[in-house]
Amino acid sequence: MSVLLVLLEACAPQKQLRRTSYSEDLSSYLPNLQAEAAKVEMKHKPSLDSVREERAPIGTINESLEKQYEIFAMRNIGKASTYYSIQIYSGEDRGRANAARSKLILNFPHLRPVLQWQSPIYRVRVGRFYDRLDAYKMLSEIRKVFPLAKSFPEKVVLSDELLENE
């Protein structure tokens, strides 16, 4: 019987809660942006010229980089280095090699292609990329014009003449 009472009580209609709207004034906790802006304006603002004078470089970056480059180059004379180049033409016809070179210069004026001849093959190669990722980025651009272009790793022994040419 107690079970029946519990069930009846559970099925009985519940009292409806009255909903009221809640409001509270929180403006006293918000930051006053106008007062903050006034404080910032009142502080002394340095002029652009005074900032430039304080942060003026001593010497130039290029001079120090050139010195570091020379030291690095002298340490590595005689050592081999690997770089990647992109070959756009390989064949026995010198006319086609020159045509491919000219076409590359027209489409990519910032690159300097090199025509190599190793009997009996002419090769047109471009770039000296020391990172494979950089070579493949350029290769994807070049393949839009030369679909058969390939990237090759090459080794070069650092010498005095090579350092003077760069």
Over the stretch 105-131, which tens digit does the pLDDT of each residue have?
A: 999 999 999 999 998 999 999 988 888
Model pLDDT, residue 75: 76
Report the C-alpha gap between 65 and 73 in whole angstroms: 12
List domains and CATH numbers for the chain.
85-159 (3.30.70.1070)
pLDDT value at 50 more than 60: no
Quick one: pLDDT at residue 159? 67
The structure's pTM equals 0.51
**Would strands 113-118 and 150-157 be described as parallel, antiparallel, or unpaired?**
unpaired
